[in-house]
């Protein structure tokens, strides 16, 4: 199936809409999602607040938000987040037990 992007057509295998965010998952081509968007989608997918995830990984919500906006999370921090979300961290992605990748 194809979805028309403003410039080109992108093949995809799964469409996901979470909290008003629409993403093409496991697709080819198109713009890459930012880590901030991936984290926010993963939070929506698991119905967990940003503050709750921050506390779960040992950060203050304020510090977490600053790192999110600046894109300064380490791979170790992203791995902790994935574990707290019940997902597996793949560099620059979250993979859930049902096969969904964000």
Give φ, ψ of 84 to 5 degrees. Answer: -65, -30
| pTM (2 d.p.) | 0.62
Residue 100 resides in a domain:
no
In the chain, which ranges are E strands?
2-4, 9-11, 14-18, 21-25, 88-90, 93-95
pLDDT, one tens digit for every residue, the chain (102 residues)? 333 333 333 343 444 555 555 554 544 444 567 889 999 999 999 999 999 999 999 999 999 999 999 999 999 999 999 999 999 888 767 888 888 887
Domains in the chain, number? 1
Residue 24 resides in a domain:
yes
CATH number at residue 77: 1.10.260.40
Residue 101 resides in a domain:
no
pLDDT for position 20: 53
Question: 40: which 2 tokens?
Answer: 């926010």
Question: 64: which 2 tokens?
Answer: 């977490």
Domain that holds residue 86: 2-95
């Amino acid at each position: 199936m194809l979805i028309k992007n403003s410039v080109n057509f992108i093949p995809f295998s799964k469409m996901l809409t979470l909290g008003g965010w629409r993403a093409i998952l496991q697709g080819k081509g198109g713009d890459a999602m930012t880590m901030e968007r991936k984290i926010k989608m993963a939070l929506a997918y698991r119905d967990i607040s940003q503050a709750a995830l921050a506390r779960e990984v040992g950060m203050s919500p304020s510090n977490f938000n600053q790192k999110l906006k600046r894109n300064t999370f380490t791979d170790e921090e992203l791995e902790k987040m994935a574990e707290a979300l019940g997902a597996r961290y793949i560099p620059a992605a979250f993979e859930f037990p049902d096969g969904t990748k964000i």
